[in-house]
């Protein structure tokens, strides 16, 4: 694993309208605690020294009450993933370690995968950015990770912008990144808004880093680790995944579960 200090930025400013709930999406429960708390527990197990959660004016109070003492940054207005990370500039001022960027509504990523991303960041090749990629059964609508002949990450292309040749690759973008904190500000400065939505996309930092003479890398993980929760149906599916993991952990530790599917952990 990288020996650098670790700061984790968790993007949690989304509205979550498809949940049809007054409760902020990232506070909906999974195995007895919120999806945000599930992800933060993973981050803590990784050994991250800093946890910065990017919130919106609409959910800041609720998230602050649910997780007391949490370090936050407010994104207002919401202008894309790059803009969300820009909101942490003051928090990360002077920080030169590794910066993990995660999503609060994707809480199934494992400690092992995050550790692998950081190990790649700290490797001799010294990539500026490491992205977690995955190969879904259905690639429709996912951004593609385009690698060069050396296996380095050249760029990230949105599905709608990808050529037919680029769409043939099944290596897709999870959105999770491990970034060299020493140049994060420079990378963010290079992001523009020349796109259909007029937003700042964090994915642009790959080409920016390459243009600076640095390389970028990909670590692959299973599709379930990139699973995003945007509806109650997806929340239920994520609950099933976590319960399956908890049952197997219990049995591996010597607990007998005669009918595992009837046991629920909280």
- What residues contact 32, with CB distance under 8 A and at least 6 apart? 265, 266
Q: 18, 50, 121, 135: which one is catalytic?
A: 18
Domain assignment present for residue 60? The answer is yes
Domain assignment present for residue 265? The answer is no
State the total domains in the chain.
1
Domain assignment present for residue 261? The answer is no
Catalytic annotation present for 160: no
pLDDT at res. 236 = 97
Domain assignment present for residue 64? The answer is yes
pLDDT at res. 195 = 85
Q: What is the CATH number of the domain that holds 128?
A: 3.90.550.10
Q: 252: buried, middle or exposed (CB in 10 Å: 19+, 13-18, 0-12)?
A: exposed
Q: How many residues are given for the chain?
A: 266
pLDDT at res. 199 = 94
Q: How far is CA 133 from CA 5, 65, 140, 240, in A?
A: 23, 34, 15, 23
Domain assignment present for residue 1? The answer is no
Spell out the per-residue pLDDT of the chain, length 266, in tens.
Answer: 447 899 999 999 988 889 999 999 999 999 999 999 999 999 999 999 999 999 999 999 999 999 999 999 999 999 999 999 999 999 999 999 999 999 999 999 999 999 999 999 999 999 999 999 999 999 998 999 999 999 999 999 998 889 999 999 999 999 999 999 999 999 999 999 988 889 999 999 999 999 999 999 999 999 999 999 999 999 999 999 999 999 999 999 999 999 999 999 98
Q: How many CB atoms lie within 10 A of CB 203?
A: 21
Q: Give the pTM.
A: 0.94
Domain assignment present for residue 147? The answer is yes
Give the integer Cα–Cα distance in Å for 114 and 235: 22
Give the integer Cα–Cα distance in Å for 62 and 79: 21
Q: Which domain holds residue 64?
A: 6-255
Identify the DSSP state of 18: G
Domain assignment present for residue 118? The answer is yes
Give the integer Cα–Cα distance in Å for 124 and 233: 43
Domain assignment present for residue 262? The answer is no
């Amino acid at each position: 694993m990288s020996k650098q200090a670790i700061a984790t930025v968790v993007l949690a400013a989304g509205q979550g309208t498809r949940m049809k709930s007054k409760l902020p999406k990232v506070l909906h429960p999974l195995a007895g605690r919120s999806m945000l708390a599930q992800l933060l527990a993973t981050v803590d197990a990784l050994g991250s020294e800093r946890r910065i959660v990017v919130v919106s004016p609409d959910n800041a109070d609720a998230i602050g009450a649910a997780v007391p003492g949490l370090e936050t940054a407010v994104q207002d207005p919401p202008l894309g993933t790059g803009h969300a990370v820009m909101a942490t500039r003051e928090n990360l001022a002077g920080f030169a370690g590794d910066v993990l960027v995660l999503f609060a509504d994707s809480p199934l990523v494992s400690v092992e995968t995050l550790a692998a991303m950081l190990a790649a960041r700290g490797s001799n090749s010294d990539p500026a950015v490491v992205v977690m990629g995955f190969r879904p059964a259905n690639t429709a609508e996912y951004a593609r990770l385009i690698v060069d002949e050396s296996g380095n990450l050249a760029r990230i292309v949105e599905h709608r912008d990808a050529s037919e040749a680029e769409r043939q690759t099944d290596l897709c973008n999870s959105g999770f990144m491990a970034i060299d904190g020493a140049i994060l500000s420079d990378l963010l400065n290079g992001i523009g808004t020349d796109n259909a939505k007029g937003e700042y996309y964090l994915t642009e930092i790959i080409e920016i880093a390459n243009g600076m003479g640095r390389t970028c890398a990909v670590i692959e993980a299973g599709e379930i680790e990139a699973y995003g929760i945007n509806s109650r149906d997806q929340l239920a599916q994520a609950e099933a995944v976590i319960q399956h993991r908890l049952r197997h952990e219990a049995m591996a530790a010597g607990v007998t579960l005669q009918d595992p599917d009837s046991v629920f952990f909280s």
